[in-house]
Amino acid sequence: MNSGECCSGGGGSGGGVGAAERSRRGSPREDGFAPSALGTREHWDAVYERELQTFREYGDTGEIWFGEESMNRLIRWMQKRKIPLDASVLDIGTGNGVFLVELAKFGFSNITGIDYSPSAIQLSGSIIEKEGLSNIKLKVEDVLNLSTKLSGFHVCIDKGTFDAISLNPDNAIEKRKQYVKSLSGALNAKGFFLITSCNWTKEELLDEFSEGFELFEELPTPTFSFGGRSGNSVTALVFQKT
Ligand SMILES: C[S@@+](CC[C@H](N)C(=O)[O-])C[C@H]1O[C@@H](n2cnc3c(N)ncnc32)[C@H](O)[C@@H]1O
């Protein structure tokens, strides 16, 4: 992709949770997404089992979805908006947990990562341990069936997870609605939700999160131009719970 920042292959999974999936080919549903294995837990379990093995053998932490810049962009925003370092932060679908590591290194002290893949949580635990960080909470948890204990967060972060859920072959529309409900339950009043997506445009995300959330800020992402058209391959938005 021209921007140098895009959804990537997910540890050799052979395709991004990305624009490529938003295909008019195959049998797209009414939301325009072709259902994909990328929306299933089996897929992510296989990805992180493989990445866990690679980490054990070579110390390679694996894929950083949307690249380093996507993490810096979020941390810069938190810094600019003076989010206190002890604010509670939830990373939804943390994957290898590398973003949690970055947050902790920056000084955030109350951070939690969840993922429905036990291998992802095992991998992030191993990476966090290797980094010598001890105050990060990790939990195997399906965001669509979130424990009520996971509530009262000041900031929730999603980098590629809503994208993955949108590709679920089994009633993704309902799952997206459930995601918005779960998010609402996890955030405290006026809490912030930072989403990075390569499947959804700004306008579509505004629509998806119109109930209970309002746009606080759009974060700049690289633009590309091709054939006289220009656009962004990644959308990064900050919502605030109303
Ligand atoms: C595209 S990866 C992004 C990983 C990580 N956020 C990053 O930026 O590197 C999507 C992640 O969402 C997780 N995920 C997908 N659906 C989920 C769900 N319902 N509950 C919790 N985690 C989920 C997957 O296991 C995977 O780790």
Position 1 pLDDT exceeds 50: no
What is the C-alpha separation between 147 and 150, in angstroms, rounded? 6
Dihedral sign, Cα of residue 110, residue 47, residue 32, residue 142 = negative
Does any ligand 1 atom lie closer than 6 A to the CB of residue 78? no
Q: What is the pLDDT of residues 54-81, one digit of tens each?
A: 999 999 999 899 999 999 999 999 999 9
**Mean pLDDT lowest among 18-22, 99-103, 120-124, 175-179:** 18-22
Is the backbone of residue 11 left (phi > 0), alpha (psi -120 to 50) or beta? Answer: left
Position 180 pLDDT exceeds 50: yes
- Ligand 1 atom at minimal distance to the Cα of residue 144: 19
Query: Which whole number is the average pLDDT over 178-197?
Result: 98
Residue 206 CB neighbour total at 10 angstroms: 16
Task: Provide the pLDDT for residue 5.
Answer: 52
- The residue whose CA is least distant from atom 13 of ligand 1 is 93
**Mean pLDDT lowest among 167-171, 175-179, 221-225:** 221-225
pTM for the whole structure: 0.91
- Mutate which of 43, 49, 114, 116 to test ligand 1's pocket (most atoms within 8 Å of Cβ)? 116
Task: Provide the pLDDT for residue 30.
Answer: 63
Does any ligand 1 atom lie closer than 6 A to the CB of residue 143? yes
Measured in whole angstroms, how far is the alpha carbon of residue 87 from the centre of its chain? 19
What is the C-alpha separation between 164 and 42, in angstroms, rounded? 12
H-helix or E-strand containing 112? strand 110-115
DSSP percent split of the chain into helix, strand, coil, nearest 5: 40, 25, 40
pLDDT over 90 percentage in the chain? 78
Residue 95 CA to ligand 1 center (angstroms) comes to: 5
Task: Provide the pLDDT for residue 2.
Answer: 28
Residue 44 CA to ligand 1 center (angstroms) comes to: 8
Does any ligand 1 atom lie closer than 6 A to the CB of residue 120? yes
Of the candidates 167, 158, 221, the one whose C-alpha atom is nearest the C-alpha of residue 18 is 167
Task: Provide the pLDDT for residue 35.
Answer: 82
Pairing of strands 235-241, 187-197: antiparallel
Task: Provide the pLDDT for residue 27.
Answer: 55
Query: Which whole number is the average pLDDT over 84-103?
Result: 98
Q: How far is CA 76 from CA 31, 39, 146, in A?
A: 33, 30, 28
Residue 143 CA to ligand 1 center (angstroms) comes to: 9
37-221+229-241 CATH, one of 3.40.1280.10, 3.40.50.150, 3.30.1330.60, 3.40.50.720: 3.40.50.150
- Mutate which of 157, 161, 162, 170 to test ligand 1's pocket (most atoms within 8 Å of Cβ)? 161
- Ligand 1 atom at minimal distance to the Cα of residue 168: 16
Query: Which whole number is the average pLDDT over 200-207?
Result: 97
Pairing of strands 235-241, 213-219: antiparallel
**8 band by pLDDT with thresholds 50, 70 and 90:** low
Q: Write the CB contacts of 178 (distance below 8 Å, at least 6 apart in sequence).
A: 144
Average pLDDT, the chain: 89
Delimit the domains of the chain by residue range: 37-221+229-241
Task: Provide the pLDDT for residue 145.
Answer: 98
What is the C-alpha separation between 78 and 61, in angstroms, rounded? 24
- The residue whose CA is least distant from atom 3 of ligand 1 is 160
